[in-house]
A and B are shown apart, each in its own frame.
Chain A
Amino acid sequence: MKVLLVSQAGAQLAQLCMAAQAAGPSAVQACVLAGREQADVPALAVDKITLLADDGPPLAERYLDTLEALVRQAEAELVLFEDSPLGNALATRLAWRCGGSCALGVKALGKKGAALQVTRSEYGCQLDAQLSCTSAPFFLSIGRDHFEDCQTPGHPSVEHRPLPESGAEWYTDYTYEATDAGRSLRDYDLVFVAGRGLGSKEACRALQALAEKLGAGLGATRPVVLNAWLPMHCMVGASGEIIAPKSCVTFGVSGCAPLLAGVQRAGHIAAVNTDAQAAMFDHCDVGVQADCNAIIQCLMEGIEGDEKHG
């Protein structure tokens, strides 16, 4: 099976490379879509890397014609993208153009006879669906962190291919502002997650202060960021960060499936909630049935007491 990997950054190609191995590839090519300054070519075990480097906005419309030509030229039967807004747009639209099949957010894949079998989440991440299709080409976006990074180095040939000048521009006044998220939540051994049960922005601030005191990361559920109690980059779960700290303590988190998808890889999970029936208690190692705000206050008082006494 001939495989083409398409990614915005060289680092993510390593995961796509491992995902491709599950399909038993006969040849693997890669394509990196990057800004001119980040256009590093990863030394991966692929046959060839095509570099589409420019400084325009990362919008699918700018890449589609070039990628369609690449897919046809490579006679790719399996095309893998990262699970991102751009990757999902490219996978779907290229599948439509090439008469291929498409699945987004794939967590596992493999060959079963002539069919390609994939697993992805449905019902709000509550069930995994196992799907199969026999008609190549297959266009898939691969969910984050479901495959290890490929560690095998290689010496691929590199081709720089310019993007065609676009015709009539449909967009104007493009700007990009990188999120000032500081250190990634994935880098912390201890992460606190704020849930709707905290009840207010002030309570989230108290948890933030506690996290800062302890050198812990601070995540949040979707309702918390949608209420603007914490910034969007704090969101943990299916549409936010997937984290795997050594310990994760959730405060006022009910335990719905999309959030669990983000925290279930933690080595140890503790849950604090007033509701004894909260689903989070079925997914944790230890539980505390109590008012979150009182627990946060007691933890803070304990730390400040220790600081006073040296």
Chain B
Amino acid sequence: MRILVCYKTAYDTEYITPDELEALRDGALDLTYFKKIIAQYDEAALEAALRLKEQALAGGEAVFLCALTVGVHEAPFAQDLYALGFDEVALVKTQQQPGCAPEEVARQAAAFFARGGGFDVVLTGRQAPPGESGQVPFLLAEMLGVPCLPNVYDVHYAPGGLRAELLDGGGAMRLGVQGPAVCAMGDAKHPYLRVATLREKLAARGKEAVAIEETPSENRMPVFERERYVYEKPQKHGRMLPGETAREKAEALWQTSIAEWVVE
């Protein structure tokens, strides 16, 4: 079984302040001071791939597990991924940061797929910041001529394919998949990537990503150009309720925010 995971790193802006958001809106914030993380849905895709590998190996099937990222200089977290059990980490080196160009990213991933002799399954996150276009997995599936499973919650190895569970808002779809397919991981059952042990990290020391030259291409889809960002600082600043003890504060909360709307 050959498994490909496409992943992207992003700046962790979860705790960004309103002042910083205003600066970001105006193009005046240097994000390089923010911590870099693997995009949240891509993290779920990497973990799902490791679980698929374990299940396939337990089923007696040989597995090749590859992680791919598209960027300018480096493949962040490459050594961590080797330590966790990825057989290859590849970086398609682009002239410009692909950023928010979903067609460009999908095209590079499709070219890598073909160059690598094909894969049985491609796992991606359903979207990643900053652009969060959400289009890459679908475009990749179109370019490869394979199905795409959106918003995947969980995947399992099955001989000759896999079984997937997808969420669509109203419920859960479960189905077996035969042949190559793209799985776009959404809010997943296993959302976090495991952490390598010190022994695993030492064994992966010195391993680097395999650099691949980008495939020249021309975009086929017209692009929505960004005119500007819009952001307004929050207008509400909560009035802090008085009270010395939890009981007094609970009483104040009851009076202001709960009592009026209680259903008898």
The residues of B that contact A131 with a CB separation of less than 8 Å are 224-227
Q: Is the CB of A101 within 8 A of B221?
A: yes
Q: Are A302 and B254 within 8 A (Cβ)?
A: yes
Q: Are B230 and A130 within 8 A (Cβ)?
A: yes
CB-defined contacts of A171 to chain B, threshold 8 Å: 147, 175-178
List B contacts of A170 (CB < 8 A). 147, 177-179, 181
Q: Which of B143-194 contact A (CB under 8 A)?
A: 147-151, 153, 163, 166-179, 181, 186-187, 191-192
Counting from the closest, the 6 A-B pairs by CB-CB distance are A215-B263, A135-B222, A287-B238, A298-B250, A85-B150, A270-B257
Q: Which of A85, A101, A280 has the most chain B CB within a 10 Å cutoff?
A: A85
Given contacts A179-B170, A287-B238, are A86 and B175 in contact (CB under 8 A)?
A: no
Chain A to chain B contacts (Cβ below 8 Å), 11 pairs: A58-B168, A85-B150, A122-B130, A131-B225, A171-B176, A179-B170, A247-B261, A256-B15, A286-B239, A286-B256, A299-B253
Q: Are A232 and B187 in contact (CB under 8 A)?
A: yes
Complex alpha-carbon distance, A299 and B256, angstroms: 13
How many residues does chain A have at the interface if contact means C-beta atoms less than 8 Å apart?
A: 91
The answer to whether A283 and B234 touch across the interface, beta carbons within 8 angstroms, is: yes
Report Cα–Cα, A18/B127, bound state, in Å. 27
Tell me the bound Cα distance from A298 to B251 in angstroms: 8
User: Taking beta carbons and an 8 Å cutoff, which residues of A are in contact with B?
Assistant: 57-61, 84-86, 88-89, 92-93, 95-97, 99-105, 117-119, 121-124, 126-135, 169-179, 189-190, 214-216, 222, 225-226, 232, 235, 239, 245-247, 249, 254, 256, 268-272, 279-291, 294-295, 297-299, 302
Distance between Cα atoms of A190 and B254 in the complex (Å):
12
Do the beta carbons of B253 and A123 come within 8 Å of each other?
no
Binds A, one of B18-26, B55-63, B196-204: B18-26
Please count how many residues in chain B sit with their CB below 8 Å of the partner chain's CB atoms.
84
Q: Please determine whether B166 and A288 come into contact, CB atoms closer than 8 angstroms.
A: no
A301 to B16 alpha-carbon distance, docked (Å): 38
CA distance A254 to B16 in the complex (A): 12
Knowing A89-B150, A177-B171 are in contact, say whether A101-B222 is a contact too (CB < 8 A): yes
Starting from the known contacts A123-B13, A216-B263, A272-B253, 7 additional A-B residue pairs (CB-CB under 8 Å) come to A60-B138, A93-B139, A131-B226, A171-B178, A246-B261, A290-B246, A295-B246
**Inter-chain contacts of A271 with B (CB < 8 A):** 238
A93 near B142 with CB under 8 A, answer yes
Residue of A88, A119, A284 contacting most chain B CB atoms (<10 Å): A88
Question: Which of A61, A123, A178, A232 touches B129 (beta carbons < 8 Å)?
Answer: A123
A107 → B minimal CB distance (Å): 10
Asked whether, in the complex, the Cβ of B246 is within 8 Å of the Cβ of A127, the reply is no
Partner of A121, one of B132, B246, B261, B263: B132
Rounded to whole Å, the gap between the CB of A140 and the closest CB of chain B is 9
Q: Is the CB of B151 within 8 A of A126?
A: no
Contacts of B17 in A (CB 8 A): 279
- Give B25's nearest chain A residue, CB to CB: A127
Closest to B187 in A: A239
Taking CB atoms, residues of chain A closer than 8 Å to B33 are: none
Query: In the bound complex, do residue B174 and residue A174 qualify as a contact, i.e. CB atoms below 8 Å apart?
Result: yes
A306 to chain B, nearest CB (A): 10
Residues on B close to A: CB < 8 A?
13-18, 21, 24-25, 100, 103, 129-135, 138-139, 141-142, 147-151, 153, 163, 166-179, 181, 186-187, 191-192, 220-231, 234, 236-241, 243, 246-247, 249-254, 256-258, 260-264
Say whether A299 contacts B169, CB under 8 Å.
Answer: no
Kindly list chain A residues whose C-beta atoms are within 8 Å of the C-beta of B257. Answer: 247, 249, 268, 270, 285-286
CB distance from A21 to the nearest CB of B (A): 20
Cα–Cα, bound, A302→B248 (Å) = 11
Determine whether the beta carbon of B225 is less than 8 Å from that of A133: yes
- A270 touching B191 by the CB < 8 A rule? no
Pick the residue among A84, A118, A269, A279 that contacts B169 (CB under 8 A).
A84
- Chain A nearest CB from B2 CB (Å) reads 17
Q: Identify which of A60, A95, A235, A299 contacts B254 (C-beta below 8 A).
A: A299
Contact A175 B175 (CB under 8 A): yes
If A85-B166, A130-B230, A190-B258 touch, whether A281 touches B237 (CB-CB below 8 Å) is yes
Contact A59 B147 (CB under 8 A): yes
- Say which residue of A169, A239, A285, A295 sits within 8 Å of B186 (CB atoms): A239
- Residues B150 and A86 in contact, CB atoms below 8 Å apart: yes
